Amino acid sequence: MKYSHVYPASVHELPGAKIYMIDLGDRDALVCEGKDYFPQEMNELTHETANRLRALFPFTAPVPVLNYDRSVGVGDRLGLAGPGHIRVFEKYDAMPVFAQQSIRELNLTNRTFEDVLDSATFAVFRENFTRGFGADGDHLKKPEDIEYALSLGFTMITLDLSEHIHANADGEYSQDVRELYLGKTFRVEDHEIEFTADELKRVTGIYGDALDFAVQMYDRFLRDGTYKAEFEISIDETGTPTRPSEHFFVANELKRRGVVFMTIAPRFIGEFQKGIDYIGDVSAFDAEMDVHAAIARHFGHKVSVHSGSDKFSIFPSVGARTHQRYHVKTAGTNWLEAMKLVAEHAPELYREVHAYALKAFDEATKYYHVTTNLANIPSLDTLSDAQLPALFENNDARQLIHITYGLILNHGDFHARLYAFWRAHADEYAAALEKHIGRHLETLGCPKR
Ligand code: ZN
């Protein structure tokens, strides 16, 4: 090879050429040695380069993955988590969604869907991960956002119905719906789901508009099969847990109206706060998961568990109740792992970021619902450098750092300094993710490959 600092797993051959990635110190680049498959011999990692790679090496383009028994979304807010995530999915028998970002996360990190997808493409090429991965336009609410994600080749659309769900509204229903549900009891494995007049009025009131919207979006973007993308229905961003009757009604109506969907994300009982374990009664969750999993099996979709970062106490229930068929999403925990590394290896920088996060916290609570009590976080002056990493075992400190990511990355020179740090500690970051995300899969009971 003509260049040094080659990533060994990245060396690929095409007739007349060797194509590989090199480490230029402050960034990576793609080399095409021999025949001109790329415009230059040495190419910057741009969207054009990624497009070319996806055309030449199909394993670097996303594919639908929800049809596999186990699929796990591992959002990568920084565009740096790929290599660590890849180590996990080399080991466990679940299909990954490496590109997964919501519009909120894009805005807070000043990233684009192009960039999110390209980061995944470059990572799988560099590490030669050929099993396939998905790309999820997460929590999309607007047609223009769906179109944007699909036009780039995203293979999954998570349609967020929250703006069309009307809590406590009584609905009117059609003759069809009346005949199908009123006074009926449906048997789903060993559960019974009953639609009394009141329940039917309630459920149609809450979901009537949402179902219309889902059907519209499906008709407009997916029905004709132009895009090879799978549909997830998200009803999790609501004030109260999704009742079994609601899950059943939504799934049954979507099916009846010809919508093909792979997953539904209900809102579960208890609290799924970002970046910390489940808050609530685990046995109550287990009982609910049992019904939701049975409903999903009844219709042939999978239950999708959102805000799955660090929910170790309920993962055994998710794995068992779904009979090992699930979709789980994690997003923020890889950012926390990245910050923990800063606390371990660059205490001065960590102290600056932490102090800023305390100031920015109020602003950040506009975007995220948390119950953080800042008074539970020890003051940094009382901690030695060696004690800083232990902050990541304190739930309030975790949430402080978790929800302020956008403000931190946009403040002063933090972005440049943090990215320089992470680049210099790329191996440690990959090892930390391998362990931490690996623990998620292990607790879910995911078999090894
Ligand atoms: Zn969600």
Q: How confident is the model at residue 307 (pLDDT cuts 50, 70, 90)?
A: very high
- Note if 442 is an active site residue: no
Helix 347-364 with 395-403: angle, nearest 10 deg: 80
- 263 vs 172: which has the higher pLDDT: 263
The single residue of 232, 310, 337, 434 carrying the catalytic annotation is 232
Q: Does 232 qualify as catalytic in the annotation?
A: yes
Phi, psi of 217 (to 5 degrees): -65, -40
Residue 331 pLDDT level (bands cut at 50, 70, 90): confident
Distance 162 CA to ligand 1 centre (A): 10
With beta carbons less than 8 A apart as the criterion, state whether 7 and 25 touch. Answer: no
Angle at 404 between CA 420 and CA 164, to 5 degrees: 125
Q: Give the pLDDT confidence of 36-92 residue by residue, as tens digits.
A: 999 999 999 999 999 999 999 999 999 999 999 999 999 999 999 999 999 999 999
- 13 three-class SS: strand
C-alpha separations of 284 from 36, 280, 291, 298 in Å: 60, 8, 11, 22
- For 137, list phi and psi in degrees, rounded to 5: -80, 100
Q: pLDDT class for 192, splitting at 50, 70, 90?
A: very high
Structure tokens at 43: 């190419």
Residue 406's nearest CA partner among 183, 158, 103, 27 is: 103
Q: How far is the CA of 102 from the centre of ligand 1 (A)?
A: 9
In angstroms, rounded to a whole number, what is the distance separating the alpha carbons of residues 263 and 293? Answer: 11
Longest CA–CA span in the chain (Å) reads 75
Query: pLDDT band for position 170 (50/70/90)?
Result: confident
Spatial contact of 103 and 112, defined as CB atoms under 8 Å apart: no
> What is the length of the chain?
449
Phi, psi of 160 (to 5 degrees): -90, 115
How many CA atoms are closer than 13 Å to the CA of 312, on its beta-carbon side?
A: 11
Q: Measured in angstroms, how far is the CA atom of residue 305 from the centroid of ligand 1?
A: 8
> Phi, psi at residue 158, to the nearest 5°?
-95, 105
> With 90 as the cut, is the pLDDT of residue 410 above it?
yes
For the question of whether the overall pTM of this predicted structure is more than 0.85, the answer is: yes
Q: Which residues surround ligand 1, an ion (CB under 5 A)?
A: 236, 306
pLDDT tens for 234-246 read 999 998 999 999 9
- Cα(156) to ligand 1 centroid in Å equals 14
Q: Tens digits of per-residue pLDDT, 370-381? A: 889 999 999 999
CA of 157 to the centre of ligand 1 (A): 12
pLDDT, position 267: 97
| The CA-based dihedral angle spanning residues 303, 307, 309, 313, taken in that order and rounded to the nearest 10 degrees | -60
Residue 237 CA to ligand 1 centre (angstroms): 6
| Distance of CA 212 from the midpoint of ligand 1 (Å) | 20
pLDDT band at 367 (very low <50, low <70, confident <90, very high): confident
Is residue 53 within 8 Å of residue 30, measured between CB atoms? yes
- In this prediction, residue 370 carries a pLDDT of 83
φ, ψ (nearest 5 deg) of residue 362: -60, -45
Per DSSP, helices labelled H in 218-332 are: 244-256, 282-299, 315-321
pLDDT at 57: 98
Mean of the pLDDT values across residues 435-445?
98
How far is ligand 1, taken at its centre, from the CA of residue 342, in Å? 28
Q: Ligand 1 center to residue 31 CA distance, Å?
A: 39
pLDDT for 338 beyond 90: yes
Candidate list 76, 127, 136, 138, residue with the active-site label: 138
**pLDDT mean across residues, the chain:** 96
